[in-house]
Amino acid sequence: MKIVDAVWEQRNLGVTCYEITFDTRDSLDDIKARWDELTDRQYLVFKVPPKRAEIVAFIQSRGFRFIEVSMNMYCDLRDWTLKDEFKPICEQCTYAPMNDDDIQTMFTEIKRGIFKTDRVYLDPYFTHEQAAQRYVNWTQDMIRRGVIPHKVMYQGETVGFFCGDLSGVYSSFENSGFGFLIQCAGIKKASDDGKKFSTAKYSSNNPSVLNVIIALGYRIKTMEYVFIRHNDSSRKAGVDREV
């Protein structure tokens, strides 16, 4: 198993957090023996591989609830080409590095709540404002590490962005289908940069995006069932929203 003390969630959400990924070799007896150690945080995120039904049953009996399937995706860029049926619209799409004003626009759009399918946004223990700020913090961290955010334009108008593994459609263009353009722009940028593979992580809570990236050539590499639990002391971090 891989145990990550997710210290960034103290800043993002106001809670201590373990993210623990189990693998096919972990025994249930070992998990039971280490249970107190594994659950010594306010917010717990457990990731279980498929076919480990006994682990799923055990952690559910201990108060964990299912929140999503997380899929690690990859696209082989060595022989990637855009399908002919996508070319007419994608060829009207361009991307460019952001300037300071563009970056502030991106932060404003994220704070408006353009990401509505991640496990924090859907979790009634946290507020939607916390979920949005978590993405702002993540994007700021990437920029500090040297990742260059890019705006994506359709016929000259900015419709969204991509920055590292994160991409989004701006609120004015929600449900417009421009998510396809943004994903396409990210792949074109990776291909233009000479990368052999493009990798990404997607949630089962967002099937429309999953359909888009599969159409563009992504394939599922691995998947994990994600379960969460809040210990009582974490209630102060958010509010009990109605789901």
- pLDDT of 83: 80
Helix (H, G, I), strand (E, B) or coil at 91: coil
- Which residue matches tokens 């990437």? 142
One-letter amino acid identity for 232?
A: D
Helix (H, G, I), strand (E, B) or coil at 24: coil
CB 65 within 8 A of CB 225: no
- pLDDT of 148: 96
Distance CA 28, CA 163 (A): 39
Strand order of the β-sheet with 65-76 is: 2-5, 17-21, 43-48, 219-230, 65-76, 197-203
H/E run at residue 133: helix 128-144
One-letter amino acid identity for 192?
A: D
Distance between terminal CA atoms of the chain?
31
- pLDDT of 235: 47
Cβ neighbours around 126 below 10 Å, total:
24
Q: What is the pLDDT along the chain (243 residues), one digit of tens a residue?
A: 999 999 999 999 999 999 999 999 999 999 999 999 999 999 999 999 999 999 999 999 999 999 999 999 999 998 888 788 888 878 888 999 999 999 999 999 999 999 999 999 999 999 999 999 999 999 999 999 999 999 999 988 999 999 988 999 999 998 877 888 898 888 889 988 999 998 888 899 988 888 888 888 899 999 999 999 999 754 444 444 443
- pLDDT of 234: 44
